[in-house]
Amino acid sequence: MADILMPKATAVWLVDNTSLTFEQIADFCGLHPLEVKGIADGEVARDIRGADPIANGQLSREEIDAAQQDPKRRMTALKSRHAEHLKPTKKAPRYTPVSRRQDRPDAIAWFVRNHPEVSDAQISRLLGTTKATIDQVRNRTHWNSANIKAVDPVSLGLSTQLELDDIVRKAAEKRARDNARKGIVEPEGPTLEPASETAAEPWPQAEDED
């Protein structure tokens, strides 16, 4: 069986629109027959909208008709014309030019100040830095703390605006889900402040201990 896009959504459509057996649908979608039965009973994938495998080029009408006539037949997936475009690709580690590496602490400070909901892992992937460096900036133990300023990564040329918007959106959505589970309600409003309001802000230095 070829890998198919959106297996559960495809199973939902097949359950709703064909007389295929649970075993046939499970085999085609790579699911367990009991999972397909759960879809039919409304216990599984209740919020998933069905995806038509004919429309997206993964199955032919003839293949479905033949399988409906023979419960023992196992359907063969066509190669989806969308598969190559939608198939996730593993990104290579971000390379930061040497001339820009000295700016990364400034970008880290910007995230720490303006978007604490963004995880260290997300910052690390976006800026091509390490968790140790992020900790040093956050704890103000970085060797160059006296000169660090909070500057957004787009202004520094370390990311695009689309990348920044995406990472902030994902972090905000995760925080909203976590807060919903805890029963915390946050006021609505924009989470990404304009760069003009957040760029080049001095980074507070650690106070000297007595």
SS3 state of residue 130: coil
Task: Kindly give the pairing relationship between strand 201-202 and strand 149-150.
Answer: antiparallel
pLDDT in tens, the chain (210 residues): 446 778 899 999 999 999 999 999 999 999 899 999 999 988 877 778 888 988 888 889 999 999 999 999 999 888 655 445 545 555 555 555 554 567 899 999 999 999 999 999 999 999 988 999 999 999 999 998 889 999 999 988 888 999 999 999 998 888 888 877 877 655 554 455 544 444 455 666 655 544
SS3 state of residue 16: helix
- Residue 149 φ/ψ, nearest 5 degrees: -125, 145
What angle (nearest 5°) sits at the alpha carbon of residue 106, between those of residues 100 and 112?
135
d(C-alpha 201, C-alpha 181), whole Å: 34
Q: Give buried/exposed letters for 82-106 (b at 16+ CB in 10 A, else e).
A: ebeeeeeeeeeeeebeeebeebbbb
- Rounded to the nearest 5 percent, the helix, strand and coil shares of the chain are 50, 0, 50
Residue with tokens 């760069």: 195
Contacts of 137 (CB under 8 A, 6+ apart): 105, 108, 109, 112, 145, 148, 203
d(C-alpha 144, C-alpha 121), whole Å: 22
Identify the pLDDT of residue 57. 85
Q: Choose among 156, 166, 157, 160: nearest CA to 115.
A: 166
d(C-alpha 83, C-alpha 3), whole Å: 9
The answer to whether the beta carbons of residues 74 and 30 sit under 8 Å apart is no
d(C-alpha 148, C-alpha 128), whole Å: 18
What is the pTM assigned to this prediction? 0.47
